[in-house]
Amino acid sequence: APRPSGEGKAWLSPRVQSLAAAHGVGLDVIAGIEGTGAGGRVTARDVEAFIAGGGAPPRIEMSWAPLSENRDERVEPLSRVRKRIAENLTRSVREIPQVTSWLEVDMSGVSAF
């Protein structure tokens, strides 16, 4: 597959990406297929042939069963104060950028003093 200049990844069309996702095939695997499209691009037919040839990993079905039927649970409405706290915390996470800042300082001169 062709590699755009300055990038290490092959360009894959949205159709190819969705087809790969539908069959559980990673885009890194698809990018390694020898493309038959214009300029060596991977086409939907290439992906279909790859999958038909047994190249796709088996799909794993997941179930979302409850952990336990015998758990003693109850749902209670939030008090006005708890509801307000939850609203403010949710709003802060949604609106305020979450940033971590690090500053490395050489303190060897200070400790020698």
What are the angstrom distances between the C-alpha of 77 and each of 47, 66, 80, 85, 90? Answer: 51, 22, 9, 14, 17
> Domains in the chain, ordered, with CATH?
14-52 (4.10.320)
pLDDT, tens only, 18-56: 888 888 888 888 888 888 888 888 888 888 888 888 765
Contacts for 81 with CB less than 8 Å, ≥ 6 apart: none
- Per-residue pLDDT tens for 62-71? 666 666 666 7
Residue in this structure with the two tokens 């698809």, named with its chain if needed: 30
Distances (CA, A) of 22 to 12, 32, 94: 15, 18, 31
Report angle CA 26, 19, 3 to the nearest 5 degrees: 60
Is the confidence at residue 78, as pLDDT, over 90? yes
